């Protein structure tokens, strides 16, 4: 009786490579073997053999497995190593991603000058009542730049008022919309003045994105003026049914000050007229060259 021919070393290597890549791809997706079986039409037992390096799978079945793992068949078989398959998969994911996500990917990968990444985008941060909306709109008009309120962008994305966003999605949902809105603004504008909610600094990843992609100015004032300005705008929420509102506001200032201080510049609007504060903001923008010498750090 003729003995079976030994399997060539190259074939053994290919089977082992296939086992490793199928197992790694399935694990990376968090996909149980049963789920992969359902998607590919290949039995769980056969998949187990493949991942153990014991299966001799047909090309047709292998193509089904690759498709179920969002890969091409060559990603599982090529000798270039698993990194090549990862690159191909990332490229396909990038191509199918929305523009805002593609923009974030490019920002993470591009070895660009930090100032160039911020372009001519300016973001005003600070607690309510600091003057972000008033001064931001006036400065944008003076500098002939678009002015955007991030909360308006969030409402547009959600298709409902902020109060309903909070009621329906809660704080975590609002923060998710906030991060998406920031990414969209970056993708759409190279020049603008943006005003954001005071609590954005508490969301580390989103705030890091703001600092990376905007020249950031902290508009600051005293707790008393914060409260007075908000009430003057007809917003009684800080005081209504909350006698400890001032203590709460002071607490916010205390805890957030180290975060606000990460801004690239500050403008103190305490005891200043609107016109004087506007002049201070414009002078700060000019001094720091936020709208010029973009390629120079």
Task: Name which of 137, 135, 168 is nearest 152 in CA terms.
Answer: 137
Q: Six-digit token pair at 280?
A: 């201070």
Q: What is the C-alpha separation between 286 and 215, in angstroms, rounded?
A: 12
Q: What is the C-alpha separation between 244 and 81, in angstroms, rounded?
A: 62
Q: Six-digit token pair at 154?
A: 């969030």
pTM over 0.85: no
Of 27-41, 116-130, 168-182, the range with the lowest mean pLDDT is 27-41
Residue 122's region, left for phi above 0, alpha for psi from -120 to 50, else beta, is beta
Q: What is the C-alpha separation between 76 and 85, in angstroms, rounded?
A: 7
> Given this model, what pLDDT does residue 292 score?
79
Helix axes 82-96, 9-28, angle to 10 degrees: 40
Class of the 9-96 domain?
mainly alpha
Q: Six-digit token pair at 291?
A: 């709208």
Of 11-20, 127-136, 156-165, the range with the lowest mean pLDDT is 11-20
Q: What is the C-alpha separation between 90 and 76, in angstroms, rounded?
A: 15
Q: Six-digit token pair at 187?
A: 């993708």
> Given this model, what pLDDT does residue 234 score?
57
User: Residue 6 has what DSSP assignment?
Assistant: P
Question: What CATH number labels 106-287?
Answer: 3.40.50.300
pLDDT band of 108, cuts 50, 70, 90: low
Q: Could you state, in order of their start, the residue ranges of all structural domains in the chain? A: 9-96, 106-287
Any alpha helices (H) in the chain, and if so which ranges?
Answer: 9-28, 33-40, 44-51, 59-68, 73-77, 82-96, 99-109, 114-118, 132-143, 150-158, 162-188, 204-213, 223-232, 245-260, 274-287
> Given this model, what pLDDT does residue 48 score?
81
* pLDDT tens track for 200-248: 998 888 999 999 999 999 999 877 676 676 666 655 454 444 556 667 7
Q: Six-digit token pair at 51?
A: 């991942």
Q: Order of strands across the sheet with 191-195?
A: 147-149, 191-195, 120-125, 215-220, 265-268
């Amino acid at each position: 009786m003729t003995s079976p021919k030994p399997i060539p070393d190259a074939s053994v290597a290919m089977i082992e490579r296939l086992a490793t890549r199928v197992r790694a791809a399935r694990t990376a997706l968090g996909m149980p073997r049963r789920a992969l079986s359902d998607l590919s039409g290949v039995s769980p037992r056969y998949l187990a053999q493949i991942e153990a390096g014991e299966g001799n799978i047909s090309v047709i079945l292998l193509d089904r497995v690759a498709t179920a793992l969002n890969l091409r068949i060559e990603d599982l078989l090529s000798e270039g190593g698993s990194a090549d398959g990862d690159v191909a998969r990332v490229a396909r994911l990038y191509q199918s991603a929305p523009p805002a996500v593609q923009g974030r990917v490019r920002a993470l990968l591009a070895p660009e000058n930090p100032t160039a990444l911020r372009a001519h985008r300016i973001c005003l941060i600070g607690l309510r009542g600091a003057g972000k909306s008033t001064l931001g709109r006036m400065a944008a008009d003076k500098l002939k730049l678009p002015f955007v309120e991030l909360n308006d962008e969030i409402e547009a994305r959600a298709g409902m008022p902020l109060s309903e966003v909070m009621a329906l999605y809660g704080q975590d949902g609002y923060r998710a919309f906030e991060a998406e809105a920031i990414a969209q603004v970056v993708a759409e504008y190279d020049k603008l003045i943006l005003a954001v909610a005071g609590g954005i600094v508490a969301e580390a990843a989103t705030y890091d994105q703001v600092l990376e992609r905007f020249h950031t100015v902290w508009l600051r004032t005293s707790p008393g003026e914060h409260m007075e300005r908000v009430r003057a705008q007809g917003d009684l929420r800080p005081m209504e049914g909350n006698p400890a509102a001032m203590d709460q506001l002071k607490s916010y200032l205390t805890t957030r000050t180290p975060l606000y201080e990460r801004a690239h510049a500050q403008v103190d609007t305490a005891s200043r007229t609107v016109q004087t504060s506007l002049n201070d903001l414009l002078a700060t923008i000019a001094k720091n060259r936020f709208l010029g010498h973009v390629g120079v750090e």
